[in-house]
Amino acid sequence: MARVLCDPLVPLECARAALAGLDVSVESSTPPWSGDDVVGLLSWEPVTAADIGRLPSLRVIATPSVGVDHVDVEAATRQGVWVCNVPEYCVDEMADHALALLLALVRGVVELDRSVRAGLWSHQAAGTLRRLSDVRLGVIGFGRIGRALASRAHALGMDVCAHDPFVSDDEISAAGVRPAALDDLLQGSTAISLHSPLTPETRRLIGSRELALLPYGAYVVNVSRGGLVDTSALLEALESGRLGGVGLDVLHVEPPSRASPAPAAPRLVVTPHAGWYSEQAEAAVFRRAAESIHDVLEGRRPRDAVNEPVPQG
Ligand SMILES: NC(=O)c1ccc[n+]([C@@H]2O[C@H](COP(=O)([O-])OP(=O)(O)OC[C@H]3O[C@@H](n4cnc5c(N)ncnc54)[C@H](O)[C@@H]3O)[C@@H](O)[C@H]2O)c1
């Protein structure tokens, strides 16, 4: 019987329910992926070109996430394999999370809590606090999540501008947000939040040059992918006092390890890639990813494909 492999984070009962009625066995597995009988892969774990080469019957890779940077999409496309993501399952959660990190930095919430736990009782324990309505927020990447954050920021009285090379200035303006080139956004923002995908073009989009353009004491929030930012430059800027605070939901290496530990510094707030998570989002993401596998195995075009596989001769 053909097999669909799921990484261990995927609840098997959910994948089995979505694939019920198909003549496939749904199994838990870990990389490196291989097997002549594997027709589908549901994975948050990396899927490399070598993995895809070891799966000659593979027809679809579905990832329970928005980002597909852990999948070699080009290799899949060449081998005639669909790659599917789940684009809309956590837009509100992600915008809420980015805002929560920004609020925590602007009002020193985490830092003040740490100080009370350490036995202090001082309103200045987190340094200078600010008014949210004084924040000039620069949103980098004006897609689903960037827009949802911008509308929240607007509602809270923040001045918002956005940079997105693939969204027209008119579309950004229509959302009540000022369009800006990246350098102008950096020079004019007292906080930035990153919402672009991780691609070869956006890797290290924010490095030491870009951080130096921000006004002194600015905040940086990254809930999208660790690779968008040069982490060493970011931590250096924080430690030197150039940045007023950093909020991260994503790291270069996840989970952190002894070789690549989670950063810890004053005015740094880190959450464990939890921005997407709510009970509703969790239920939706695995079901939707498994439904894409169901579509392909039944010969239909999947709803959320990110590629157009090359027909195999
Ligand atoms: N931490 C988490 O739990 C979590 C959850 C969901 C999504 N994410 C991340 O958030 C990212 C954004 O998600 P989304 O749903 O808003 O995606 P989206 O595709 O709707 O929007 C991404 C936007 O980024 C823009 N973009 C591309 N290249 C850019 C560049 N060089 N500079 C600026 N903008 C650029 C695109 O034009 C697009 O408008 C995902 O790619 C994913 O990596 C993280």
**Domain shared by 82 and 102, yes or no:** no
Residue with tokens 């198909």: 22
pLDDT in tens, 250-309: 999 999 999 999 999 999 999 999 999 999 999 999 999 999 999 999 999 999 999 999
Q: Report the distance separating Cα 180 and Cα 174, nearest Å.
A: 14
Q: Give yes or no: residues 204 and 251 share one domain.
A: yes
- Mean pLDDT, the chain, rounded, equals 97
Please enumerate in sequence order all residues whose Cβ is within 8 A of that of 21, keeping only pairs 6 or more positions apart, or say none. Answer: none
- Indicate whether 186 and 247 sit together in one domain: yes
**Count of domains for the chain:** 2
Tell me, yes or no, whether 244 lies in a domain. Answer: yes
> Which atom of ligand 1 lies at the shortest distance from residue 140's CA?
33
Across residues 69-76, what is the average pLDDT? 98
Residues 6 or more apart in contact with residue 110 via CB below 8 angstroms: 104, 269
Q: Is the pLDDT of residue 313 over 90?
A: no
* Percentage of the residues of the chain whose pLDDT score is greater than 90: 99
Q: Which residues are catalytic?
A: 225, 254, 273
147 alpha carbon, distance to own chain's centre:
15
171, exposed or middle or buried, with CB in 10 Å at 0-12, 13-18, 19+? middle
Please indicate, yes or no, whether residues 43 and 102 belong to a single structural domain of this protein.
Answer: no
Tell me, yes or no, whether 13 lies in a domain.
Answer: yes
CA-nearest of 85, 277, 301, 19 to 5 is 19
pTM of the model: 0.95
Residues 97 and 246 in one domain: yes
Q: Which atom of ligand 1 is nearest to the CA of 145?
A: 16
Q: Are residues 223 and 149 both part of a single domain?
A: yes
Edge-to-edge order in the sheet of strand 218-222: 178-179, 159-163, 136-140, 191-194, 218-222, 243-248, 268-270
Ligand 1 atom at shortest distance from the alpha carbon of 87: 15
Q: What is the average per-residue pLDDT within 104-118? A: 98
Does the residue 302 lie in any domain? no
Ligand 1 contact via 144 beta carbon (within 6 Å):
yes
* Distance, CA of 150 to CA of 88 (rounded, Å): 17
Among 140, 144, 102, 153, CA closest to 229: 140
User: Is residue 97 located within the same domain as residue 81?
Assistant: no
Question: Residue 34 domain-assigned?
Answer: yes
What mean pLDDT comes out for the span 8-13? 94
In this prediction, residues 91-111 reach a mean pLDDT of 98
Q: Is the pLDDT of residue 136 over 90?
A: yes
Q: How far is the CA of 34 from the centre of ligand 1 (A)?
A: 30
Verify that 112 and 218 share a domain, yes or no: yes
Same domain for 204 and 57, yes or no, is no
Q: Report the CATH number that the domain containing residue 122 is assigned in CATH.
A: 3.40.50.720
Q: Are residues 56 and 71 in the same domain?
A: yes
144-188 pLDDT, tens digit per residue, is 999 999 999 999 999 999 999 999 999 999 999 999 999 999 999
Does the CB atom of residue 185 touch ligand 1 within 6 A? no
Nearest-10 Cα torsion for 3, 294, 43, 99? -170
For a substitution probing ligand 1, which of 63, 99, 145 has the most ligand atoms within 8 Å of its CB? 145
Instruction: Please tell me whether residues 132 and 52 are part of one structural domain.
Output: no
Report yes or no on 310 lying in a domain: no
pLDDT score recorded for residue 200: 96
Checking if the pLDDT of 234 tops 90, the result is: yes
- The whole domain housing 12 covers 2-88+279-297
Query: 176 and 284 in one domain?
Result: no
Q: Which of 228, 185, 188, 225 is nearest to 207 (CA)?
A: 228
